[in-house]
């Protein structure tokens, strides 16, 4: 290993440059990760478009092997040099009420909307030691890192989907309570929506309906392969009629809007929920005008905003990978190098004609 790391830096809106950074000295409570693969999350696209935070190394769906490890960090993480691990983006404080209750995704230290807070994949390179993102050959392991051992036999390319599939387990199972006898509608067949399909199937949900558009047929087909009982192109079929027919008129126990498409989809989703059912909204991008609060009250529907994942959710995702019951290779559509990061972000942002689902960056690829 040399003393430099090559990284793809988002230097301006929709502009990437390859730069080299000096690898820092590692303190006893820190470490260094040799990055194997980093997935491109849908949230990377709006960060790539937004130049305000300044140049930064994006990428938080990080898989790699521990290259250097301080003695204190090794004991804290239960890890050793050479271990293949999956990282979470969060760098929680570890001592607030949320952290002590196991909900560190709500810790204020993880909220980058607050000035000065840091997390993997969004921290500017002006914050030492700069190596905060997965689109780099090496990553600095902060003392507050949350990591998971990757199960034996799980390839890094598959493990790179631990966070989007972990989101699926969080939203569909842990928050939504999917399980036997339950009907669930998942709006949006992107990587998060497909993660919800996997979680609902693993939990034994009786009726899984995945909804998208006709142009999403390749994603809907993957959803069927992953366990969706019905995959509906809503611009060609009547989603409400299908939900009613497949639930004998009860409508869905759980509806999750993973589309991020805005008020139209969220407003339409409420009519799909049965009385005393649950509507989860993890992906709204704008205020939702015209929301039928009277319908919500009249049918005693639970409306829940949710975001991110818990430690348990990511462990469940990695366990599903190790179990081998799902054809997860169908989700992993592209593997690109650092020099191709712009193209990958363009695909994830919906700006390219080439169909994709989960796009990953392999920083050592030439």
Q: DSSP string covering 300-333, please?
A: TPEEEE--S--HHHHHHHHHHHHHT-S-GGGTEE
Question: Is 315 part of any domain?
Answer: no
What per-residue confidence (pLDDT) applies to 17?
97
| 242 in Cβ contact with 228 (< 8 Å) | no
Residue 131's φ and ψ, nearest 5 degrees, are -85, 70
Taking the CA atoms of 29, 33, 39 and 40 in sequence, report the sign of the dihedral they define. Answer: positive
**249 lies in the same domain as 183:** yes
* pTM across the whole model: 0.95
Domain final residue pick, 305, 323, 345: 305
pLDDT in tens, the chain (366 residues): 569 999 999 999 999 999 999 999 999 999 999 999 999 999 999 999 987 778 999 999 999 999 999 999 999 999 999 999 999 999 999 999 999 998 999 999 998 888 889 999 999 999 999 999 999 999 999 999 999 999 999 999 999 999 999 999 999 999 999 999 999 999 999 999 999 999 999 999 999 999 999 999 999 999 999 999 999 999 999 999 999 999 999 999 999 999 877 777 888 889 999 999 999 998 766 667 778 888 889 999 999 998 899 999 999 999 999 999 999 999 999 999 999 999 999 999 999 989 999 999 999 998
Q: What is the CATH number of the domain that holds 267?
A: 3.40.50.720
Question: Is 320 part of any domain?
Answer: no
What per-residue confidence (pLDDT) applies to 284?
64
Q: What is the CATH number of the domain that holds 81?
A: 3.90.180.10
What per-residue confidence (pLDDT) applies to 51?
74
**203 lies in the same domain as 350:** no
With residue 345 as reference, give the H or E element that holds it: helix 341-348
What per-residue confidence (pLDDT) applies to 50?
85
**33 lies in the same domain as 89:** yes
What per-residue confidence (pLDDT) applies to 117?
92
End-to-end CA distance of the chain: 17
Q: How many domains does the chain have?
A: 2
**108 lies in the same domain as 137:** yes
């Amino acid at each position: 290993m040399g003393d430099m790391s090559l990284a793809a830096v988002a230097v301006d809106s929709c502009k990437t440059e390859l730069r080299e950074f000096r690898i820092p000295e590692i303190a006893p409570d820190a470490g260094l990760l040799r990055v194997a693969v980093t997935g491109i999350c849908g949230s990377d696209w709006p960060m790539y478009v937004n130049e305000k935070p300044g140049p930064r190394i994006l990428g938080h769906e990080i898989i790699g092997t521990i290259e250097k490890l301080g003695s204190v960090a090794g004991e804290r993480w239960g890890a050793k040099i050479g271990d293949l691990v999956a990282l979470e983006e969060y760098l929680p404080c570890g001592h607030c009420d949320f952290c002590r209750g196991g909900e560190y995704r709500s810790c204020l230290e993880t909220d980058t909307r607050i000035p000065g807070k840091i997390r993997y994949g969004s921290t500017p390179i002006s914050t030492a030691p700069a190596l905060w993102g997965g689109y780099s050959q090496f990553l600095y392991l902060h003392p507050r890192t949350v990591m998971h051992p990757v199960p034996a036999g799980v390839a890094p390319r598959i493990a790179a989907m631990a966070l989007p599939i972990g989101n699926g387990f969080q939203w569909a199972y842990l928050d939504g309570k999917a399980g036997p006898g339950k009907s669930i509608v998942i709006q949006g067949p992107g990587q998060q929506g497909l993660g919800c399909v996997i979680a609902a199937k693993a939990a034994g949900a009786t009726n899984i309906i995945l909804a998208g558009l006709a142009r999403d047929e390749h994603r809907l087909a993957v959803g069927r392969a992953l366990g969706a009982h019905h995959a509906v192109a809503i611009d060609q079929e009547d989603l409400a009629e299908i939900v009613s027919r497949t639930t004998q008129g009860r409508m869905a126990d759980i509806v999750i809007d993973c589309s991020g498409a805005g008020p139209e989809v969220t407003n339409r989703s409420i009519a799909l929920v049965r009385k005393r059912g649950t509507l989860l909204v993890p992906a709204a991008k704008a205020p939702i005008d015209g929301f039928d609060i009277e319908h919500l009250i009249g049918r005693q529907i639970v409306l829940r905003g949710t975001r991110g994942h818990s430690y348990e959710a990511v462990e469940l995702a990695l366990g599903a990978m190790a179990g081998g019951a799902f054809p997860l290779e169908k989700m992993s559509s592209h593997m690109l190098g650092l020099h191709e990061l712009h193209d990958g972000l363009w695909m994830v942002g919906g700006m390219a004609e080439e169909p994709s689902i989960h796009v990953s960056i392999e920083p050592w690829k030439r």
